[in-house]
């Protein structure tokens, strides 16, 4: 099976602070929402990458859960292994 989602990598902090969404549009809205305060919008734009597509292949729901909960977590191939596993 395959899970596809979009990510805006957080470039100045841990990858757990990256924004993930089902669609590219949701990621773009996260970065450019005109209804949020301007300083928050500028912070998001300065500290997150542009949206990137991620595809995760897995055998079952349990296998996906194992990928997410194993040491180091799920590696999102659009980032370096060092970024994925930094503390």
Structure pTM? 0.78
| CA 49 – CA 7 distance, rounded (Å) | 8
Which tokens go with 4?
A: 């596809």
> What pLDDT is attached to residue 86?
44
> What pLDDT is attached to residue 67?
85
Q: What is the pLDDT along the chain (87 residues), one digit of tens a residue?
A: 999 999 999 999 988 899 999 999 999 999 999 999 999 999 999 999 999 999 888 899 998 898 888 876 676 654 444 444 443
For the chain, what are the domain ranges?
2-84
| CA 60 – CA 24 distance, rounded (Å) | 25
DSSP 2-63: EEEEEEE-BSSS-GGGSEEESSHHHHHHHHH-TTS-HHHHHHHHHHBPPPEEEEEE-SSHHH
Which tokens go with 55?
A: 């595809």
């Amino acid at each position: 099976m395959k899970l596809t989602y979009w990510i805006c990598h957080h470039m100045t902090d841990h990858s757990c602070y990256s924004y993930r969404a089902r669609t590219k549009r949701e990621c773009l809205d996260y970065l450019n929402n005109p209804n949020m305060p301007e300083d928050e919008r500028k912070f998001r734009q300065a500290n997150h990458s542009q949206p990137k597509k991620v595809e995760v292949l897995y055998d079952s729901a349990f296998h996906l859960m194992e990928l997410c909960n194993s040491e180091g977590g799920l590696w999102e191939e659009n980032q370096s292994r060092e970024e994925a596993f930094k503390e």
